[in-house]
Amino acid sequence: AQSVTQLDSQVPVFEEAPVELRCNYSSSVSVYLFWYVQYPNQGLQLLLKYLSGSTLVKGINGFEAEFNKSQTSFHLRKPSVHISDTAEYFCAVSDNQGAQKLVFGQGTRLTINP
Amino acid sequence: DGGITQSPKYLFRKEGQNVTLSCEQNLNHDAMYWYRQDPGQGLRLIYYSQIVNDFQKGDIAEGYSVSREKKESFPLTVTSAQKNPTAFYLCASSRQGIDNQPQHFGDGTRLSIL
């Protein structure tokens, strides 16, 4: 079974500052990793995914994440945030065994201050 | 435009009443999923279906039921046996295949108890 831990429940940052949202996972098999963003009262939108290959993954809205197998981490970063990035961010993992069930972290609320 | 439609957006349930949440997709996806979202707990899988007329329990299936009579539709019934149904419910769908496809989400249904 897999599990995901998002190390920060809330992250406040100033506009145009860099941000890192941390995600650690555990699994006994190879995994696929995802970051989703959720704006208030909406569903989840995919930011980026890691399936295989290059460990640095670039996504939408200027976000990127790095897969680190030895540290079982998949941290999300953005070099300069904007007010519109205020949202909740979810890290998720699925195994590669076929059912594609996602296991989600608890979420990190990113708040951008002007 | 292709997507996932959840209805209604808001739903109220009386004690002892069953209610059904609708989820329809026109993405031609084989797999569909139902998640429950509670504050600070991320998303938890209720049921999923990989093919028409077949579905499996997720991590928190007790008090819920589903059907998958058509590829496009995956309704969720919250029964009176679910003692704490107040939550935000999200439906998702994905393609099946060897390359893990990301899940696409609807905009959710918020269920409250009267």
Output the CA–CA distances (angstroms, integers) from residue B71 to A103, B19, B96, in the order listed.
24, 21, 13
pLDDT(B113) > 90? no
Is B38 in a helix, a strand, or coil? coil
Nearest C-alpha in B relative to A42: B107
Instruction: Report the percent of chain A where pLDDT is more than 90.
Output: 75
B72-110 in b/e form (b: 16+ CB < 10 A) is bebbbebeeebeebebbbbbbbbbeeeebbbbbbbbbbe
Report how far residue B61's alpha carbon sits from residue B93's, in angstroms, rounded to the nearest whole number: 18
Whether residue B90 and residue A51 make contact (CB cut-off 8 A), yes or no, is no
pLDDT in tens, B62-80: 999 999 999 999 999 999 8
Whether residue B108 and residue A41 make contact (CB cut-off 8 A), yes or no, is yes
Nearest C-alpha in B relative to A6: B42
pLDDT in tens, A50-103: 988 888 999 999 999 999 999 999 999 999 999 999 999 999 998 766 667 889
Please check whether residue B108 is in contact with residue B8, taking contact to mean a CB–CB distance below 8 angstroms. Answer: no
Q: How far is A70 from chain B (nearest CA, A)?
A: 22
Nearest C-alpha in A relative to B103: A46
Task: Please name the residues between 36 and 65 in chain A that touch chain B, using a CB distance below 8 Å.
Answer: 36, 41-46, 49, 51
Q: Quick count: other Cβ atoms within 10 Å of Cβ A68?
A: 12
Q: Which helix (H) or strand (E) holds B77?
A: strand B76-78
According to the model, what pLDDT value does residue B99 have? 62
Q: Is A10 exposed, middle or buried (0-12, 13-18, 19+ CB in 10 A)?
A: exposed
Nearest C-alpha in A relative to B51: A99
Task: Please name the residues between 68 and 87 in chain B that touch chain A, using a CB distance below 8 Å.
Answer: none
According to the model, what pLDDT value does residue A104 have? 93
Amino acid identity for residue B61 in this structure: A
Using a CB-CB cut-off of 8 Å, the residues of chain B touching A50 are: none
Interface test with A, best of B60, B103, B107 (most A CBs within 10 A): B103
According to the model, what pLDDT value does residue A54 have? 86
